[in-house]
Structure 1
Amino acid sequence: MKTKILMLPLVAVLLLGACKGSGSGYNTDQKVGDTDTARSSGADTSAASKLVKTADMRFKVKDVQQTVENIAALTTKYNGIVMHHQMQATTERSQDVRISNDSVMHITSFTRVADMTVSIPPNHLEDFIIQVARIGLYVNSSKMDIDDKSLEYLSSKLKQGNKAAFVAEQNKRDKNATTELTMKDDLVDSKINNLKIDKAVKLSTLTLSFYQNNGIVKEVVANDDPSAYQLPVHKRFLGALAYGWSLFAELVIGLANAWVFLVLGGVSAWLFIRYYKRKYSILPDTIKS
C-alpha cells in the first residue's frame, strides 16, 4: 500500500514532463510555420514593389542648346543617366542680299528641336519633372504612368522554378536533349525578363521633347556668281571704244587682204552693167522696125 502511494508522485512527474515536451515541439513547429509565412509574405511584398514609372514631356524653351546642357547637369545631380540625345536644325527659308561686287549676306531662317531620354531613380522622378518644367517657357504636354509588374515578375519567377526542376529531372533521366535545350533557353529568357523589370524599377524612364522659336543667322560670304565681278562703267566704256576700233582695224585689214576679189568683183559688175545697157538700148529700135 505504501509502495502504491509512493508511485503516484513519480507518475505525476513523468506526465508533467511529457506535456512540456509536446508543448515545446508544438512551439517549434509554430515558429517554423511563422518563418515560412514571413518568407512568403516577404516574397509577396517584393513582388508587390515591382512598380515601373515612365513619363514624357513636350515643352518650349528659349534656347535648345542651353536646355540640353541644363538637363544633362540636372540628370547628373539626381544620379540619373542620359540614355538618348538628338538635336536637329531645319532650314525654313534662306535669302542672299548683295552688299558689294564680291560679297553677299546670306540670311537663313531655321527651326531647332531636340529629343532626350533620361533614366532617373523613381524617388526623384517627380522632383526632376518639376525642375525640367521650370527650365522651359511653358509645357505643351506632360504625362506619367505607373505600370505594376508584380504579377508578371512573380509569374516569371515561378515558371523559372518549374523549368529549372524540369531541366534537372531531364538531366537525371538523360532523355530528349532538344526539349532540354529549349527549356534552358526559356529559362534564360525568363531570367533576362525579370532583370529588365528590376532595372526598370530601379530607374524610371523620362522622354523629353523640346523646341524653340525660329532663329535667324546672318553671315557675309563671297559672291559665287562670276557675272557679278565686272569693271566700273568708265573703264567698261573705254574698253568698248578700244574694242570697236580693234574691230574696225580688223575689217580694214580683211578688206586689204581681199583686194583681188574686190577688183574682180568691181570689173565683173561694170561688164554686166555695160552689157545690160547695150541690150536694152537696142531692143526699142527692133520693135519699131
Structure 2
Amino acid sequence: MKRLLFFPALFIIISGCQNNTGENELAKALTDTTSITGITGDSVKLVKTARIDFKVKDVEKAGWGVSALAQQLGGKIFHQQLETIEGERKELKMSDDSLLVITAYTPRVAITVRIPSENLELFLHNIAGLGYYTSSSRLDIEDKSLAFLENELKQKNRQRELSKPGNTVKALASMQSINVKDAMIEQHIANRAIDADVNYSLVNISLFQNSLVRKEVIANYILTGYELPFHKRLLNAIGNGWEMFLSFVLFLAHLWMFFLVAGIAWIIYRYFQQSRKMAYNNSTFK
C-alpha cells in the first residue's frame, strides 16, 4: 500500500517542479528584452521615439499639464513653442481714426519631451487624457544594438593597438595615434548618445484647439479716411478760393506787356478801319 502511494506523490512533486520552471521562464522572458539581431541582455539598445497630435480645450493649460506629467515621471521638457495661426480677418470702420479688427486664430503648442523609457507607455497613456480627440499618434523603435556593438569593438581594437609594448612612445608621438584616439573618443561619445537615447525616449507632442475670435480697436492706418470737420473744410475752401483769385490776378499782371501790345494793335486796326470807311463815304458823295 505504501508503495502504491509513493508513485502518485512522486508524480505530484515532479509536476510542481515543472510548473515552477515554466513560470520562471515566462517571467525571465518578460523582463529580458531581445533584439531582432539576436543580441540579449544589457547589450540590447532599442531607441524609442513617439509622436502624438491631439486636440484640447486650452493649449496653454494642456501644455502646463504635459510639463507637470513629464516631471512627475522623471522626464524633462527640451522644447516648447506656442504658435498662433491667424485665419480670416475683417476690418470695420468705427470712426475716421479707428477700426474694429476681428480676427479668427488657432493656437498650437509644440512640445519635445524626454521620458525614461520604462515610463514611456504610462506617459503616452496619461497625456492622451488631457485631450478629447487624437488626430494622430506614432511610435517608432529603432534597434541600435549593432551600431553600439560596432563602436565598442572598434574602440577596444584601437585601445589594444595603442597598448602594445614597444609601440606606446612612438605611437603617442605620431599623428596616426592622435587620429586613433580621436576616433576612440568619437565612438565613445556615439555610444553615450545611444545610451541616452535608449534610457530617455523622445516624444514630440502637438496640441491644438478650436479657433478663437479676437476683437480689437486699432488706429485707422488708411490715411485717406482722415478728414477735417465740415466747417473747417468750408473755411479752408473760401480761403483757398481767395488765394486762387489773387494768384490769377498776379498771373495777369505778369502779362501786362501782351495786353498793352494787343491794345495798341486794336487801336491801330480801328483807326485804319475808320479811315477806310470815311474815304469810301467821301467817294460816294461825290
| TM-score (normalizing by structure 2) | 0.68
Question: Which of 231, 248, 253 pairs up with 2:228?
Answer: 231
CA separation of 1:150 and 1:225: change in aligned 2, threshold 3 A: closer
Q: Which amino acid aligns with 1:114?
A: V
- Ranges in structure 2 where 5+ consecutive residues have no aligned partner: 1-38
CA distance in 2, matches of 1:217, 1:113: 16
Query: Shift of residue 117 of structure 1?
Result: 1.2
Superposed CA deviations along residues 37-90 of structure 1, whole A, max 9, x for unmatched, are xxxxxx952213x33221111223333333322222222222211112233334
Q: Which amino acid aligns with 1:145?
A: D
Aligned to 1:7: none
Query: Shift of residue 251 of structure 1?
Result: 5.4
CA distance in 2, matches of 1:208, 1:126: 14
CA contact (8 A) 1:89 1:113 kept: yes
Aligned to 1:212: 209
Aligned to 2:25: none
Equivalences for 1:45-84 in 2 at 5 Å? 45-48=41-44, 50-84=45-79
Does residue 116 (structure 1) correspond to residue 111 (structure 2)? The answer is yes
CA separation of 1:218 and 1:276: change in aligned 2, threshold 3 A: farther
- Ranges in structure 1 where 5+ consecutive residues have no aligned partner: 1-42
CA contact (8 A) 1:75 1:81 kept: yes
CA contact (8 A) 2:162 2:168 kept: no
Instruction: Name which of structure 1's ranges 151-160 and 252-261 shifts more when overlaid on structure 2.
Output: 252-261
Equivalences for 1:17-166 in 2 at 5 Å? 45-48=41-44, 50-166=45-161
Superposed CA deviations along residues 4-51 of structure 1, whole A, max 9, x for unmatched, are xxxxxxxxxxxxxxxxxxxxxxxxxxxxxxxxxxxxxxx952213x33
CA distance in 2, matches of 1:194, 1:76: 26
Aligned to 1:25: none
CA distance in 2, matches of 1:47, 1:96: 64
CA separation of 1:233 and 1:188: change in aligned 2, threshold 3 A: same
SS in 2 for 1:116: strand
Query: Shift of residue 210 of structure 1?
Result: 3.0
SS in 2 for 1:135: coil
Query: Shift of residue 269 of structure 1?
Result: 2.5
SS in 1 for 2:95: coil
Query: Shift of residue 215 of structure 1?
Result: 3.5
Q: What's the RMSD between the two structures over aligned residues?
A: 3.8
CA distance in 2, matches of 1:253, 1:160: 100
Query: Shift of residue 161 of structure 1?
Result: 2.5
CA separation of 1:135 and 1:280: change in aligned 2, threshold 3 A: farther
Identity among equivalent positions (%) equals: 33
CA distance in 1, matches of 2:262, 2:179: 109
SS in 2 for 1:56: strand
CA separation of 1:285 and 1:123: change in aligned 2, threshold 3 A: farther
Query: Shift of residue 168 of structure 1?
Result: 0.1
CA separation of 1:256 and 1:128: change in aligned 2, threshold 3 A: same
Structure of larger gyration radius: 1
CA distance in 1, matches of 2:46, 2:110: 25
Q: Which amino acid aligns with 2:214?
A: V
Superposed CA deviations along residues 219-273 of structure 1, whole A, max 9, x for unmatched, are 2122234433323334433543454355456656877898897677545424323
| TM-score (normalizing by structure 1) | 0.68
SS in 2 for 1:99: strand
Equivalences for 1:242-261 in 2 at 5 Å? 242-245=239-242, 247-248=244-245
CA separation of 1:254 and 1:55: change in aligned 2, threshold 3 A: closer
Q: How many residues align?
A: 245
Q: Which amino acid aligns with 1:188?
A: I
CA distance in 2, matches of 1:112, 1:280: 99
CA distance in 2, matches of 1:260, 1:161: 111
